[in-house]
Amino acid sequence: MTEVDEFAAETADYDITPLLQPFRIRHLELRNRFVMPGMQRWWCVDGAPDHRMVEYYRRRVLGGAALIISESCTVDHPSATKNPTFARMSPETREAWRACVAGVHEAGGAMFMQLWHQGGVNYGGDAEVNPEFVALSPSGLSAPGQPFGRAATEADLSSLKRAYVQGALDAMEVGADGVELHCAHGFLLDQFLWPQTNLRTDRYGGPAITDRATFVAELTEAVRAATGPDFVISVRISQWKESDYDARIVDEPDQLGQLVRLLRSAGADIFHMSARRFWTPEWEGSDLGLAGWAKSFTDAAVIGVGSVGLDVDVMASLNGGEGRATGASRIDELVRRFQRGDFDLISVGRSQIGDPEWVAKMTDHRIPDIRAFRAGDIALGDDVMSA
Ligand SMILES: Cc1cc2nc3c(=O)[nH]c(=O)nc-3n(C[C@H](O)[C@H](O)[C@H](O)COP(=O)(O)O)c2cc1C
């Protein structure tokens, strides 16, 4: 019997009801604690979601999710990406996003648009689509020691800020309940937070996390000022990067506290703490994960995430590794952490790709009916992801 089987047997009588309580953030009432996090599906045409995506998001709400976060959607800036299969928020794509949001609302859910810029990350395909494309990043690096594109000037940063603000206004205009600023996984905003990719000596860089977070804080403030008091702003943060699973933006809890407090005072309502496994302790001496640590420093809402319902992590899946659905396994641990106050909401990614009714089936104890997520559900072409 594997560790997972043993755990599943122990938790056959799991109780998920604590996660079914509603939750309020500003004006927004979520009917339970389950979130579908941003996940690119590579179905966009010239940045616009096609008809499949309307149905895809709507079905996850009908299947139980309270909040849908769109796949990473680039801001309308020439340096954001030139890959046409990546989602974009721009005047040309607004109507298509409006249809996605309307579908989610009709089904009884809420939706945020995730605003993204790939920064210096060297995704394959860009150069082929547009040879003029120049990647912008804090210090002209794709990853530590790997030059790509160029460092953003102060003028670039001003225009990037305007693009994020416009993206947030567009999200509001299409009816979204909020935005999520993608500051994770090694992309533009995370490249500011990561000391190895932010070598700047101006006010956007420096040894302290509060120095390196200056651009993210200014952006959050600008989005808050433009969108007013009712719009929800989530900030997604990770330690790990697609290019380096052991990377760190902060070495100690106190530094995480400084980051969370800075962004909270800039206007963030939610911290979506991206970890590959929700149960992994972030620092020795405590079993708190990244979400639990963030929550210990803030009155803002916190979203946890990481391998709920699966025995392999996201990057193993993205690299084609096959895992198994774990059914009830670790659900007790998830609920224990939730009831302890480690997080307010929980993201379930791949499990909800695998089965749009994952939340409903878990709620109704219909585990044998769950369609297990398979790596083939998200098969990637090499041309899409080379980082
Ligand atoms: C196919 C795929 C695409 C993803 N795209 C994004 C994305 O656009 N934005 C983002 O913040 N995270 C993205 N992620 C990470 C997920 O949001 C989530 O953090 C990760 O899958 C871990 O959750 P899980 O273990 O429940 O799947 C993606 C993950 C997958 C599997």
Task: Convert the pLDDT of each residue in 28-76 to its tens digit.
Answer: 999 999 999 999 998 899 999 988 999 999 999 999 999 999 999 999 9
40 within ligand 1 shell (Cβ under 6 A): yes
The alpha carbon of 131 and the centre of ligand 1 are apart by a number of angstroms equal to 29
Q: Whose CA is nearest to atom 6 of ligand 1?
A: 39
Given the CA of residue 310, which atom of ligand 1 is nearest to it? 25
Does the Cβ of 125 fall within 6 Å of ligand 1? no
Give the pLDDT confidence score for residue 174 in this predicted structure. Answer: 98
In the structure encoding, which two tokens stand for residue 78, read together?
């020439």
Question: What would the two tokens of residue 120 be?
Answer: 């210096």
d(CA 90, CA 99): 14
Cα 153 to Cα 214: distance, rounded to the nearest angstrom? 15
What is the reported pLDDT for 213?
99
Give the C-alpha distances (Å, rounded to integers) separating 94 from 50, 203, 228: 12, 34, 20
Q: Report the length, in residues, of the chain.
A: 387
Cα Rg of the chain, angstroms: 20
Å from CA of 37 to ligand 1 middle: 6
Contacts of 346 (CB under 8 A, 6+ apart): 19, 33, 34, 35, 278, 303, 304, 305, 308, 334, 338
Phi, psi dihedrals of residue 112, rounded to the nearest 5°? -110, 150
Is the separation of the CB atoms in 171 and 115 below 8 Å? Answer: yes
From the CA of 305, give the closest atom in ligand 1: 23
Q: Is any ligand 1 atom within 6 A of the Cβ of residue 37?
A: yes
Residue 10: the pLDDT is: 45
Instruction: State how far the Cα of 285 lies from the Cα of 283, in Å rounded to an integer.
Output: 6
At 387 the pLDDT is 24
**Max Cα separation, the chain?**
60
Q: Is the whole model's pTM more than 0.75, yes or no?
A: yes
Measured CA distances, 203 to 154, 217, 237, 267, 340 (Å): 10, 12, 21, 20, 38
Check residue 136 and give its pLDDT: 97
pLDDT at site 127: 57
- Indicate whether residue 38 lines ligand 1 (CB < 6 A): yes
Ligand 1 centroid to 69 CA: how many Å?
10
Count Cα neighbours of 123 within 13 Å in the Cβ-side half-sphere.
26
Q: 131 CB contacts (<8 Å, ≥6 apart)? A: none
Dist. CA 174–CA 106, nearest whole Å: 14
Cα–ligand 1 centroid distance for 39 (angstroms): 5
- Counting as low any pLDDT under 70, the low residues of the chain are 1-12, 124-130, 380-387
Whole-number Å distance, alpha carbon 234 to ligand 1 midpoint, is 16
Looking at residue 124, what is its pLDDT? Answer: 61
Determine which residue's CA is closest to atom 3 belonging to ligand 1.
39
Q: What is the pLDDT of residue 382?
A: 39
pLDDT of residue 132: 74
Instruction: Indicate the residue type of 117.
Output: H
Quick one: pLDDT at residue 160? 98
CA of 294 to the centre of ligand 1 (A): 20
CB of residue 354 inside a 6 A radius of ligand 1: no
Residue 347 tokens, joined: 């993201």
> Can you read off the two tokens belonging to residue 193?
């937070």
User: What distance in angstroms lies between residue 373's CA and the mean position of ligand 1's atoms?
Assistant: 13
Q: How far is Cα 367 from Cα 351, in angstroms, rounded to an integer? A: 12
